[in-house]
Amino acid sequence: MKLRSLSAAGAVATSMTLMGGAAYADCGEVTITEMDWASSAVVTYVSAFLMEQGYGCDVQLVPSSTTPAVTSLAETGQPDIVTELWAAYTPAYFELRDNGTVVELADVLTDGGIEGWWIPQYLADAHPELTTIEGIMANPELVGGRFHDCPNGWGCDLTNMNNLVASGLIDHGIERFQHGSGETLATSIAAAYQDQEPWFGYYWSPTSVLGRYPMVQVDMGEFNEEAHACNVAGDCANPVLSPWPTATVLTVATTTFVEREPEVAELMSNVQFTNTQMNEVLAWQETNSASYEEAAVYFLTTYTDVWREWINEEAAARLAALL
């Protein structure tokens, strides 16, 4: 993987070229996942650039998603590194970890993955009571009488329906509206913001949407593990209201890779993003119709003080001429 001619970030479209192909070869070939969602792709391109230009690696991207990546680790011991693994959604992963096939290097999203019910910041400012279920139940018209939900078939589909039933919101005038795609769900937030209209519904972080449009989580009470397990299931007979747990989101590597390339493994154990940072990068990407590579350059040029703490002295010297 070689980073090509990319735009640096910001209002001024400063162009920079990051030349691939290091003149030294310290660590050989490294395979790393290129997952099929935005935040993970940014993690991958940032990591790949640092490995190539700072540590002399020949980085090969492996297009994948969660389940295929874990299956490949189990069956082939590849790829070397999996970025942004949402572990709770992949039970098979824990067997690989427990039998020593893989090593957890970092909580790559330091805040974890966040799912929840949200209202726009302007609505919370005007009506702070709407940040509670009780407040929405008493004033359904203030949120437009509608709950904007994820598409049918998504993992959040059943959980939201069960929580809506358990909360009593449907009985108090809230209509569940399922969007046909993630794109239309995101567009509904943008449209609400444009006209400062009511909006209430489900979303998650990190995403470009929450980077561009400040949203406030609605308090769904204390997390109830048993209730959540039932709400996720399709046959929950007696739903009980429960928020989502904060998802652990990991970077993992094979044990053989960690033993073979300890310096690179140490680098990847330091690669961590806050949700605020990632939301901001993804918002910049969307606003500028940028590629994942360009978003990586934006992060590298905007958050220099962050990633310089990740690398060793030799890598810092090599990267000094580029960034």
Q: What is the mean pLDDT of each run of 10 residues along the chain (323 residues)?
A: 41 35 68 91 97 96 90 94 87 92 96 96 98 98 97 87 96 96 94 98 94 96 95 88 94 97 97 96 95 96 97 93 74
For residue 106, what are the β-bridge partners? 251
Q: What's the number of CA atoms in the CB half-sphere (13 Å) around residue 170? A: 10
| C-alpha span between 33 and 60 (Å, rounded) | 9
Provide the pLDDT for residue 36: 81
Question: SS in 3 state form for 147-204?
Answer: EEECCCCCHHHHHHHHHHHHHCCHHHCCEEEECCCHHHHHHHHHHHHHHCCCCCEEEE
Q: Who contacts 38 (Cβ-Cβ below 8 Å, separation ≥6)? A: 207, 208, 282, 285, 292, 295
Measured CA to CA, the distance from residue 297 to residue 292 in angstroms comes to 9
CB-based burial, 194-219: b 16+ in 10 Å, e otherwise: eeeebbbbbbbbbbbbbbbbebbbbe
260 three-class SS: helix
Q: Which amino acid is at 40?
A: S
Residue 27: the pLDDT is 86
Rounded CA gap, 212 and 201, in Å? Answer: 17
Burial class from Cβ neighbours inside 10 Å (0-12, 13-18, 19+) for residue 232 reads middle
Distance CA 13, CA 63 (A): 29
For residue 117, give the H/E element and its range. Answer: strand 114-120
CA of residue 54 relative to chain centroid, distance = 25
Q: Which long-range contacts (CB under 8 A, 24 or more apart) does 71-77 make?
A: 73/101, 73/102, 73/254, 74/101, 77/101, 77/254, 77/256
Helix (H, G, I), strand (E, B) or coil at 217: strand
pLDDT at 67: 85
Task: Report the C-alpha gap between 296 and 294 in whole angstroms.
Answer: 5
